A and B are shown apart, each in its own frame.
Chain A
């Protein structure tokens, strides 16, 4: 192959990427249209792929019932953070412009199968779903609001963990959200945590693991430390199913793995059992 042919070959690759989806778990290729039509679920291995917050809300909230709140609570650049690739402010502003979201969790009141609830859904597309001060503030305010209105709380997590661009204050959001959720639970209100792919680091190590029940979807990645960090620590290769939904259920940290098609009905059923 001559150099110009190789160049032309290279130029074709992005086009292929636009047409084909690759399942990150079983590496199956399938047309993007089909992946979307199948609700981002791999037809081959049943991996439940990522959804945007808005897609998720459309599947969980009764039609037209979702009323967004706290949209004005957004990120804050307390540290005036800069790294090798630029400053945090420009990065997050670009994300806001592109995604139309103003933080990594979308919060609102909704009806779920007829049950009134406070519903928060994280968006992995917003800076990896990272937990920033705005995210923590939305969750804390949601707990206060839920206590006032006697609403159950349902949160769908999808996050790589704390947002390091917000430094120590992002770490503090772990304590803040956990304290707020603790208060909500003390008031006799239920909290259902749905850990979706992926939920790791500071989010799994705070509000996401504190549900009265913790549920998840097939093959979701859930854990504290990253796979590579652990492999470097123990000098061993980890099994494929390590930190999967199935692994977490086996070890007793997940109440149930729920298929996406059954998720709304399952949440409604639990709220019904508990009288909400």
Chain B
């Protein structure tokens, strides 16, 4: 077996390390990013049907003079906030709110910036009764067709369909230590290893890190994090996100609506395409 120096070993960050970093409670969350990136933010509430889901927050904001709609998963930083936000697990009402606000942004040609950080859509009986599957499906269809630029930032946990529902866009950015996966490593390990404790192995096999996703063509850009992870320096992490978002917005705003829509459609069609 090849010998590796202690230094090289220490430098190797495994997929499982990144899962833990992505879930770190001290990592910057939606509220931190909004505070550090936008000069103002006006939250708008409700799906106009039954509820105002606190796990998915939306509102208009200004980022360096750019007026945008911000949508994002809300996990919360304290126990009270976690409870209020249902730990970032969205109900159908949340996705319906996102669609409503997305259409409002489209109406006024305002770009949309989404922040993705959820363990997954809420797996509860009430969520099923109100059509979790339909709400996610409809979100995918709607965001694929909104005639306004969409920039997606995967900031923490990209948990399967619950993440994807607000992650269809024109530019997909991902923080260096964020993860994005079809199933949680624990869930996959439980099914394919018959042992939840094999999660680190599943995390490796599923290829869920930013570097993996860039190679697979699922994301466009990796956003650097401060040394040791974004939890060590919220300001620096947010500054890097802001820079990447502004660059993406500038590029997308230079396109005509037809070009934008054709590019987004082709981008989606290329996912996993092979010859």
Contacts and interface: CB of A to CB of B under 8 A. Distances in A.
Interface of A: 76, 78-79, 81-85, 133, 136-137, 140, 162, 164, 166-176, 178-183, 186, 200-202, 204-210, 222-226, 229-230, 233-234, 236, 238, 242-243, 251-253
Contact of B183 (A76, A164, A234): A164
Contacts of B202: 83
Contacts of B268: 172, 175-176, 179-180
B182 A162 contact: yes
Contacts of B207: 79, 167-168
Given A136-B272, A179-B144, A230-B125, A225 B216 contact: no
Interface of B: 121-125, 127-134, 136-138, 140-142, 144-145, 160-161, 164, 168, 180-183, 188, 191-195, 198, 201-202, 205-208, 212-213, 216, 218, 264-265, 268-269, 271-274
A144 to B, nearest CB: 9
B140 A140 contact: no
Given A84-B193, A202-B182, A182 B144 contact: yes
Main secondary structure on chain A at its contact with chain B? helix
B144 A175 contact: yes
Contacts of A206: 136-137, 140, 161
A173 B161 CA distance: 11
A172 B271 contact: yes
A208 B161 CA distance: 14
B195 to A, nearest CB: 8
A85 B182 CA distance: 20
Contact of A178 (B137, B180, B182, B273): B137
A224 B132 contact: yes
A164 B206 contact: yes
A169 B130 contact: no
Given A175-B140, A176-B269, A180-B269, A168 B274 contact: no
A230 B123 contact: yes
Given A200-B133, A205-B137, 10 more contacts: A85-B192, A133-B274, A171-B160, A178-B137, A178-B141, A178-B144, A209-B137, A224-B121, A233-B124, A253-B131
Given A79-B207, A84-B194, A204-B137, A167 B182 contact: yes
Given A84-B192, A140-B269, A207 B125 contact: no
Nearest to A182: B141
A178 B272 contact: no
Contacts of B265: 179, 183
Contacts of B144: 175, 178-179, 182
7 contacts: A167-B181, A180-B268, A202-B182, A205-B133, A224-B128, A229-B123, A236-B125
B182 A164 contact: yes
Contacts of B206: 79, 81, 164, 167-168
A82 B205 contact: yes
B205 A209 contact: no
A79 B131 CA distance: 32
Contact of B182 (A84, A136, A171): A171
A176 B272 contact: yes
Contact of A224 (B123, B140, B180, B191): B123
Given A179-B144, A208-B137, A225 B131 contact: no
A21 B123 CA distance: 32
